[in-house]
Amino acid sequence: MKVAIYCRLSEEDRNKQHATDDSNSIQNQKAMLLQYVMEQGWELFNIYSDDDYTGSDRRRPEFNRLLQDAEQRKFDIVLCKTQSRFTRELELVEKYIHGLFPLWGIRFISIVDNADTANKGNKKSRQINGLVNEWYLEDMSENIRSVLTSRRENGFHIGAFALYGYLKDPEQKGHLIIDEEAAAVVREVFTLFAQGYGKTAIARMLNDRGIPNPTEYKRLHGLRYMQPATKNSTLWKYFAIADMLSNEIYIGNMVQGKYASVSYKTKICRPRPKDQWIIVKGTHEPIIDRDLWDRVQALIDQRAKPFDSGELGLFARKARCANCGYVMRSSKSRGRHYLQCCTRHVSRDACEGAFIAVDKLEQMVLAELNRLSAEYLDKDELERNIEFCGSLQEKKSSLKSDIATYQKKIAEYSKGIRELYLDKVKGLISESDYREMSQDFITERDRLEHVVADGEKQLSEIEERIAAGDNRRELIEQYTNLEHLTREIVDTLIDYVTIGKRIPGTRDVPIEIHWNF
């Protein structure tokens, strides 16, 4: 029997000699599992080891390599110290341990908690372990979130990177100190803007002098920084200057909580409304004095020009240069709006540039959208079969998904209670253990049943509102045979558009539309 050993550790190991060394805890897991393999007389195929990864991280490199090798049936057994070392997600327990592994002819064993798929009698205990591990993840996430929120509310800096112009204080955790070299650039940016220079002009001046932008500065000085996603990442840009001029951290106020994670199961974050940001005043030494800050904010307010009578530009933040990847800026000439790559304006020879009239881009997008509509959509069939009612329909879909998830969990808790009762009757667990273990299931099941009842009530109300205002045809018409786009339509249908340089000798501008569907 060929055995694949899997080990995982989620905490930083303080005893590491080098960053590439396995931790002592990982070594202990390996020693225990290797001893078990020898005692059983099995053959070791490979050891897969993920250090410093949580049990909910599906991107673990060795974990995914193990799954690929398992699918190719390179071994017969997966051996772990505990089931939670393999995963803490009940969904993955069911998908792999109880689903795909048996199909692939692979046995799963964990030593400490006696999980063994060859033993049909302990499947319930594996599922209970999965539920407990799932609760552990959720509770741990909430605990960490509450601790971090509390520290933010008390003015401590929480984050891997200090803002450009500051350094993390080595003597006081959560405190920022001024980085004088970078702070001098920050003061110059504020001063130049107060003297009347524009944001693009300031970026060009810094680039002409060879001053590295914040990301490149941190890289050159060995500081932690976020990897850039675009080309020409060493250049100052319009938006870098704009963000700097409006950041209150430069006047000594700690501003955090601008983004929040979608779920404890994912690292994806979403922006939060400004009224939900956590702002604590006077937490560190300011780089910009209050008088200069107030003058700059007044100038920003004066220069803010609404696009098209106060509306956001049609393709604002949606149009990107195909060459350098940066967001294109809008401009106006003789009453006509244009989009252009700002990179060529902030540094010579940095980008070949991209330029297009907004109305021309609109017509190109409309032509492609109408082509897709004619090719793939049948309006009459859509009207008959799709209940399409804008935001109400989205709320209904989201609510139904949530209710289905809760009902699935309720069924899992009910099943767990029944199986625990059977274990008690068979004498596998004591009466006291049964009461203690089942009480958590019952409490959580009852809570979710109330949540489902409230959700079904909301669902009924939404369906009544949809029925009362059935505007399916109008909404379908909104996205077919269009003559003009609106910002709402662009937001709904388009992720982004890349725009290239005009083809020489023609008036054609290459574009590539990335749809949201």
- Among 198, 202, 151, 156, CA closest to 176: 156
Q: Are 80 and 86 in contact (CB under 8 A)?
A: yes
Instruction: Measure CA 24 to chain center.
Output: 32
Considering the domain boundaries, does residue 71 fall inside one? yes
Residue 309: inside a domain: no
Contacts 24+ apart (CB under 8 A), 35-44: 36/79, 36/111, 37/3, 37/5, 37/79, 40/1, 42/1, 42/2, 42/3, 42/77, 43/1, 43/2, 43/3, 44/2, 44/3, 44/5
The answer on 270 and 201 residing in a single domain is: yes
User: Does residue 145 fall inside a structural domain?
Assistant: no
Cross-strand partners of 330: 339
241 shares its domain with 296: yes
138 domain-assigned = no
Between 152 and 7, where is the model more confident?
7
Residues 230 and 239: beta-carbon distance below 8 Å: no
Given 273, 303, 333, the domain boundary residue is: 303
pLDDT at 248: 92
Question: Residues 97, 6: contact at Cβ < 8 Å?
Answer: no
371 & 439 share domain:
no
**pLDDT at position 381:** 53
pTM metric for this prediction: 0.45
Residues 13, 89 within the same domain: yes
> Are 440 and 511 contained in the same domain?
no
DSSP sequence for 224-269: --PPP-SSSTTS--HHHHHHHHT-GGGGT-EEE-SEEES-TT---E
Crossing angle of helices 180-194 and 199-208, rounded to 10°:
140
Of 275, 303, 331, the residue that ends a domain is: 303
- Are 63 and 84 within one domain? yes
Residue 506: the pLDDT is 86
- Confirm whether 144 is domain-assigned: no
Q: Are residues 365 and 496 in the same domain?
A: yes
Q: Is 416 left (phi over 0), alpha (psi -120 to 50) or beta?
A: alpha
* Number of domains the chain is built from: 4
Angle made by CA atoms 92, 98, 102, in degrees to the nearest 5: 125
What 3-state class would DSSP assign to 199? helix
- Greater confidence, 291 or 28? 291
Percent of the chain with pLDDT over 90: 19
pLDDT greater at residue 241 or residue 480: 241
Select from 238, 272, 303 the last residue of a domain.
303
Q: Which pair of structure tokens corresponds to residue 199?
A: 């944001």
Same domain? For 159 and 232 the reply is yes
CA angle 436, 427, 440 (to 5 degrees): 15
Q: In terms of domains, do 166 and 271 share one?
A: yes
Within a domain: residue 383? no
Q: Which amino acid is at 213?
A: N
Query: What residue numbers bound the domain in which 369 lies?
Result: 319-377+482-515
Residues 85 and 172 in one domain: no
Same domain, 491 and 371: yes
Single-letter residue type at 80 = C
Task: Give the CATH number for residue 27.
Answer: 3.40.50.1390
Contacts of 83 (CB under 8 A, 6+ apart): 93, 97, 110, 113, 115, 126, 129, 130, 133
Beta-strand pair 494-499/511-515: antiparallel
**Tens of pLDDT, residues 121-170:** 666 666 676 666 666 666 666 666 777 778 888 888 888 789 999 999 99
For the residues of 117-151, what is the DSSP string, one character each? Answer: TT-GGGHHHHHHHHHHHHHHHHHHHHHHHHHHHHH
For residue 288, name the pLDDT band (cuts at 50, 70, 90).
very high
252 part of a folded domain? yes
**492 and 344 in a common domain:** yes
pLDDT of residue 286: 94
- Does 187 map to a domain? yes
Q: Would you say residue 480 has pLDDT above 80?
A: no
- Whether pLDDT at 301 is above 60: yes
CATH code of the domain covering residue 261: 3.90.1750.20
What is the per-residue pLDDT across 33-65, written as a single tens digit (0 to 9) for each? 998 899 899 999 999 998 877 777 788 899 999
| 375-390 pLDDT per residue, tens | 665 555 544 444 444 5
